[in-house]
Amino acid sequence: MTRAFPQALHIVAGWDQAADLASDLVCATVRRKPGAVLGFATGRTATEIFPALIRKARLGRADFTQVRCFNLDEYIGLPPSHPNAYSNEMQRGLYDPMGLNPAQVFLFDGMASNPGHEAERCERALAAAGGIDLQLAGLGENGHIGFNEPGSPGDSRTRVVSLSATSRTANRRYFPAPGAVPARAITMGIGTILDARQIVMVALGAHKAAAVARMFNDPVGPATPATFLRGHGNVTIVLDHLAASALPESVLAAGQEPGA
């Protein structure tokens, strides 16, 4: 069935099924286009998907030797050696196990002396790479995508942002102390994300249910940044039953099980 939004909706049993499906979508893109440009979120949802992707790469489901990868965002003030730096998490969790070389990977430098210039470097690199073929995104409990917090304009580009209290609280569990969560980040903008030719958004767990419902129901606008996905045209959403639990029946009825 062709849908207005999202163009595909998969409601799966749990994390393993979501990882299987999302990694299949990435592999399909790379099979279709060996030099594909892939955008990756970090965070719990994305890092649960990476082992499935690594497994499939090792099984030869797709050849990743020519892909290029971009990180979606990065904390400002954490060196790449910091365990919570997204560049570090991505290197350890995905890029190293996949055997990608540094030239294949764009990482933000969270310690750049001029973070604004670092953001512009990302936009230039994206343009030089020909844009993102598939962007894997997660969803913040406040409706953010990347670190585009509520208030972010739909045409925003990669830039320096302040993290909201909600996001800092949500990410506190990954840091040794509450005060250790950085206050600022560099993120691809909403306009930058919407330039991706395909977006795969994965949201799992009951704590995402309200944000998922708002992504579908709120007026499209900066108050709920994920609503901007509704104007994209090639969005696949992968949810588990808990994350989908606040969606109206009319939306759920069109949800597909994997392979459907």
- Verify binding: residue 72, ligand F6R, rule CB under 6 A: yes
Chain centre to alpha carbon of residue 78: 20
Phi, psi for residue 97 in degrees, rounded to 5 = -60, -30
Stretch that binds ligand F6R, among 7-15, 37-45, 154-162, 209-217 (CB under 6 A): 37-45
Locate 144 and state its tokens.
């953010």
d(CA 97, CA 54): 7
Q: Are 221 and 152 in contact (CB under 8 A)?
A: no
Total interface residues for ligand F6R by CB under 6 A: 14
- Verify binding: residue 110, ligand F6R, rule CB under 6 A: no
Locate 225 and state its tokens.
């940044």
Output 79 or 248, the one with its CB closest to ligand F6R. 79
Output 18 or 139, the one with its CB closest to ligand F6R. 139
- Verify binding: residue 144, ligand F6R, rule CB under 6 A: yes
Of 6, 39, 43, 143, which one interacts with ligand F6R (CB under 6 A)?
A: 43
**Residue 157 neighbours by CB under 8 Å, 6+ apart:** 119, 123, 188, 189, 191, 192
In angstroms, give the least distance from the CB of 207 to ligand F6R: 8
Output 33 or 125, the one with its CB closest to ligand F6R. 125
Long-range contacts of 176-179 (CB under 8 A, 24+ apart): none
Residue 166, H or E segment: helix 165-171
Output 49 or 100, the one with its CB closest to ligand F6R. 49
Q: Are 145 and 237 in contact (CB under 8 A)?
A: no
- Verify binding: residue 143, ligand F6R, rule CB under 6 A: no
Residue 94 CB neighbour total at 10 angstroms: 24
Of 42, 91, 192, 224, which one interacts with ligand F6R (CB under 6 A)?
A: 42
Surface-to-core class of residue 178, CB atoms within 10 Å of its CB (0-12 exposed, 13-18 middle, 19+ buried): exposed
88 as an active site residue: the answer is: no
- Verify binding: residue 45, ligand F6R, rule CB under 6 A: yes
142 as an active site residue: the answer is: yes
In angstroms, give the least distance from the CB of 146 to ligand F6R: 4
Across-strand partners of 239?
11, 203
Of 39, 146, 182, 225, which one interacts with ligand F6R (CB under 6 A)?
A: 146
Of 93, 115, 138, 143, which one interacts with ligand F6R (CB under 6 A)?
A: 138
Parallel, antiparallel, or unpaired: how do β-strands 198-203 and 134-137 relate? Answer: parallel
Stretch that binds ligand F6R, among 9-17, 29-37, 96-104, 141-149 (CB under 6 A): 141-149
d(CA 192, CA 137): 13
Stretch that binds ligand F6R, among 10-18, 126-134, 138-146, 175-183 (CB under 6 A): 138-146
Please report, as ranges, the residues that interact with ligand F6R according to CB under 6 A. Answer: 41-45, 72-73, 86, 138-140, 144-146
Catalytic residues: 73, 142, 144, 149
